[in-house]
A and B are shown apart, each in its own frame.
Chain A
Amino acid sequence: MAKKNKQESKLKELGLKVLKDVEKIRNPNITIPVRALSNVIFNKKSKTLELGNKKSKRFFFNVAHAKKFLQTIEVASVSKNLLNEEKHASLRDVFYMMKRTIPGTSVNIVDEQSESDNVIEDLELLTGDSREQLNINANKNGSIVGKVTIEDAGDTIRWDKLGSGGWSIPSNVEDIKFKSVNAKYILYMEKAAVWERLNEDRFWEKHKCILISSQGQTTRGIRRLLQRLYEEYKLPIYVLTDYDAYGFYIYSVIKYGSINLAHASERLAIPGVKFLGISSNDIEKYDLKKHFIKLKDHDISRLKQLAEYSWFKDNKQWQKEFKTMRQYGSKAEIQALSSRGITFISEKYLPEKIKNKDFID
């Protein structure tokens, strides 16, 4: 209960700060750190992204800020309710809890979930608590399999006894207890289809490892779970993504943290993860050029952005990757490996890469 009160008092503090302006008949304002690339610093020592010192002021009596200001206070009030009632809500729930038309106007407090999601992230910065601590959860996303036993909400769960689907990773993994962990490393992959292939081949059993997948971008739940396994059991983590700029960025987010959530890097970033593939070496070695897909304009501009990021700027190996891809003018999917046979990935590619420590750091 003490924990709940701590969060509640932080929300109240935010309210009181605004109230102070109100009482002095001043234009109410909130100071929020800027969440953008311009205010993200790469800490060379910890090797993670951190939020810089740039701050912006959000005013109520300002035509451009008013609605966002209202949303910020509104989401704080919604969060207070959740804490009071000791209930958890999804991001979608919160969107609907905020959404309504302001009487006498045709204006909605929020029109899209992206707006409420955005002010929830602002609220994390303002209170210093994660959204999960504020009783707001994201959807569960991703599957996990391996010789691991955990305890979750009073249930004992064996990750190796869940058939073809595996265990779904919830948004909040803070309260999960690991009972036994029997693995030598963790393999994370961007594609759920590849995870299903490896699970069917019982790759995790043969190679004593844990397999995790997401569908596209890695959620906070997955990143936090990876970080806990990495820190609590010192398990190496290898990342397998498509051979394209977006795949590379998935690796970057897991390793260094994301631009949008630079404030949460401490709880999410895992500087020790290694990039397993698909790399340009793999393209040559495993003869994947015939499965190339031509780069589109947005692929090329994304590559240029990646190359400019301060955490990649001095990394020769990665600069070489970006350059090679631009020279190829092409990208490729993990599934291109299947052209060498359906079990090629589990029987040849992965064992060979891991044995030879063929990684990019």
Chain B
Amino acid sequence: MVNNQEKKITAEELSKKHREISVAEFFTKNRHLLGFDNPIRALLMTVKEAVDNSLDACNEIHILPEIYVEIQELSETRYKVIIEDNGPGIVKANIPKVFGKLLYGSKFHRLRQSRGSQGIGISASVLYSQLTTGKSTKILSKISKGKQAHQYELNIDTKTNSPNVIKDENADWDKDHGTRIELELEGKYQKGKQSVDEYIKQVAIVNPDAHITYITPEKERQDFLRGTNELAKEPKEIKPHPYGIELGNLIQMLSITTTRTLQSFLTQDFSRIGPGTAKDICAKAKLSANTKPKNMDRQEAEQLFKAMQETKVMAPPTDCLSPIGADILERGLQKEVNADFYVTTTRPTSVYRGFPFVVEAGIAYGGDIEKESQVRLMRFANKVPLLYQQGACAITKSLGETKWKSYGLNQSGSNMPTGPAIVVLHLASVWVPFTSEAKDAVAHYDAIIKEIKLALQECGRKLNTYIRKHIRAAEQRQKIDLFGKYIPELAASLSHLTNKKEEVILKKLEKTLKKELPTLESENGEKK
């Protein structure tokens, strides 16, 4: 009996256990990889993914974003999130896939600056909602004025990673166009540095062209008004730069290209490769310019890849980026932060690993900002606030390594500086190198760190000029004013020492102060 039970397991039997794991199933088990690791964060992620999508959608159709965010507290652990925008809407046939299938999206396959990129975000929220509450998600969308809106109720079939439509009907909506999503989830609402409130405030700073209405779980209505009516520039899509691809990408591109020769493949499917450069590359790779791309084997692809890296190619075009712009960023800061002084800068475009990027920085100083504590750093990537993993981020590192003492702030070693300041740092790129899929921290690329530091130094210099002019002058003024208060003290002690009348001494000292005042002021002016 015992022996019979120990019968051998055959490969055939084992193979029955092998089966494809769907992305949705994978997420179910690894939700932390996408940032849904605790209830506080899950609520934030849901708002964030929906708001990012709304802003991206509005940008695409050149319209000033009008966004409505509402969080309702259903119980201490359960919330309803509603997000509505005035974007282009989604055609009926695509709605189920956009919201009910992971890794379905319009942005992953293009090289262009956008907030989202992988097509995971919003469907992950849908999945999270269904996992924690069993409820399905409601979507309402309308694509133009004359047409009817569509209302869907759906969830995700985790086995097949496909949408499971529960309700599909026409509806009336008084909006011209837009999308509204409504979902329930297990979550927790908290205030503070990593809260939904903070997220929306920071979004308002870097997107001053958006009007955001936010109804908090405490039913308070917050309106983040526009700081500008200028539309954010729409970023152009670019072709890959030869320095920005990996061998695997190249092999894939060779297999799907519509071009017929290697020469035309290089000039048409890449940016910055002209006929001359293409010839150089072919020569270096020891391949004929007439080779058919589709017929190239792995060995040839590798030769080509090497040659591409070794050939000097102009830096990628930069119109694929849409920085906020120094002026607009300053307006964003001014409307959300009450300070005495603002400075912002946009650096010229730079390149890391063949990907163009732009760094923008801003500092708000004084006013309502807390005086004695650490400087607050607000990090942004493609206009999206990064609220988690501050310590692991290249932006944080660059800030610490900047010598703030020369720019008027206090700092010990390479720590965060202290003083009444908020530092805003924005990295815009067609491909932001995050340290993980949860997109919390920027990876440490030297080229990026260098640009961040230059941006911070540029702002720092202007900050220092301001501090020197205004604050130091005020401090000196105060010190000079102190003499008036010192005089009675000195008069009293001196009178006690010499038995001379205090009032006489006092009057004479006051006279001397008047005489000395111009010298005192000019001395201090010269010193600093």
**Chain A partners chain B:** yes
Interface residues of A (CB under 8 A from B): 11-12, 14-16, 18-19, 22-23, 25-28, 60-63, 66-67, 69-70, 73-74, 76-77, 80-81, 102-105, 107, 109
**Which of B480, B482, B512 contacts A105 (CB under 8 A)?**
B482
The answer to whether A25 and B508 have CB atoms under 8 Å apart is yes
The answer to whether B497 and A14 have CB atoms under 8 Å apart is yes
Tell me the dominant secondary structure on chain A's binding face.
helix
Nearest CB of A to B459, in Å: 30
Q: Report how far A284 CA is from B327 CA in the complex, Å.
A: 73
Q: Assuming the A-B contacts A15-B498, A102-B489, are A61 and B483 also in contact, with contact meaning beta carbons closer than 8 angstroms in the complex?
A: yes
Tell me the chain B residues, 474-516 only, with Cβ under 8 Å from chain A.
476, 479-480, 482-483, 485-486, 488-490, 493-494, 496-500, 505, 508-509, 511-513, 515-516
The answer to whether A27 and B516 have CB atoms under 8 Å apart is yes
Q: Report how far A62 CA is from B482 CA in the complex, Å.
A: 11
Residues of chain A lying within 8 A (CB to CB) of residue B523:
62-63
Q: Assuming the A-B contacts A61-B516, A74-B489, are A15 and B505 also in contact, with contact meaning beta carbons closer than 8 angstroms in the complex?
A: no
Q: Assuming the A-B contacts A102-B485, A104-B485, A107-B482, are A23 and B508 also in contact, with contact meaning beta carbons closer than 8 angstroms in the complex?
A: yes
The answer to whether A73 and B500 have CB atoms under 8 Å apart is no
Residues of chain B lying within 8 A (CB to CB) of residue A74:
489, 493
The answer to whether B512 and A25 have CB atoms under 8 Å apart is yes
Cβ of B253 within 8 Å of any chain A Cβ, yes or no, is no
Residues of chain A lying within 8 A (CB to CB) of residue B493:
70, 73-74, 76-77
Residues of chain B lying within 8 A (CB to CB) of residue A27:
512, 516
Nearest CB of B to A126, in Å: 12
Residues of chain A lying within 8 A (CB to CB) of residue B489:
70, 74, 102, 109
Q: Report how far A356 CA is from B498 CA in the complex, Å.
A: 60
The answer to whether A70 and B486 have CB atoms under 8 Å apart is yes
Residues of chain A lying within 8 A (CB to CB) of residue B524:
63
- 12 A-B pairs besides A27-B516, A63-B520, A102-B482 with CB distance below 8 A are A15-B494, A15-B497, A22-B494, A22-B509, A25-B508, A28-B490, A28-B512, A61-B519, A70-B490, A103-B488, A105-B485, A109-B489
The answer to whether A61 and B512 have CB atoms under 8 Å apart is yes
Q: Report how far A69 CA is from B476 CA in the complex, Å.
A: 18
The answer to whether A66 and B498 have CB atoms under 8 Å apart is no
**Which of A60, A67, A73, A102 contacts B497 (CB under 8 A)?**
A73
Chain B interface residue number, banded: 20 to 34
The answer to whether B497 and A76 have CB atoms under 8 Å apart is yes
Residues of chain A lying within 8 A (CB to CB) of residue B512:
22, 25-28, 61
Measured CB to CB, the nearest residue on chain B to A14 is B497
**21 A-B contact pairs sorted by A residue (CB < 8 Å):** A15-B494, A16-B498, A18-B494, A22-B512, A26-B512, A28-B490, A61-B512, A62-B520, A63-B479, A63-B523, A66-B486, A67-B486, A70-B490, A73-B490, A76-B493, A76-B497, A102-B485, A103-B485, A104-B485, A105-B482, A109-B489
Residues of chain A lying within 8 A (CB to CB) of residue B509:
22, 28, 60
The answer to whether B490 and A60 have CB atoms under 8 Å apart is yes
Residue from A14, A27, A109 with most neighbouring chain B CB atoms (10 Å): A27
Nearest CB of B to A134, in Å: 13
The answer to whether A12 and B498 have CB atoms under 8 Å apart is yes
Residues of chain A lying within 8 A (CB to CB) of residue B480:
63
Q: Report how far A15 CA is from B495 CA in the complex, Å.
A: 8
**Which of B498, B505, B513 contacts A61 (CB under 8 A)?**
B513
Residues of chain B lying within 8 A (CB to CB) of residue A63:
476, 479-480, 520, 523-524
**Which of B497, B500, B513 contacts A80 (CB under 8 A)?**
B497
Q: Report how far A12 CA is from B479 CA in the complex, Å.
A: 29
Nearest CB of B to A337, in Å: 40
Nearest CB of B to A60, in Å: 7
Nearest CB of B to A101, in Å: 10
Residues of chain B lying within 8 A (CB to CB) of residue A18:
494
Q: Report how far A105 CA is from B485 CA in the complex, Å.
A: 7
Nearest CB of B to A223, in Å: 30
Residues of chain A lying within 8 A (CB to CB) of residue B505:
19, 22
**Which of B497, B500, B516 contacts A11 (CB under 8 A)?**
B497
Residues of chain B lying within 8 A (CB to CB) of residue A102:
482, 485-486, 489
Nearest CB of B to A72, in Å: 9
Q: Report how far A12 CA is from B500 CA in the complex, Å.
A: 11
Measured CB to CB, the nearest residue on chain A to B511 is A25
**Which of B476, B485, B497 contacts A77 (CB under 8 A)?**
B497
Report the 4 A-B pairs with minimum CB-CB distance, sorted nearest first.
A15-B497, A15-B498, A61-B516, A77-B493
Residue from A12, A26, A60, A70 with most neighbouring chain B CB atoms (10 Å): A60
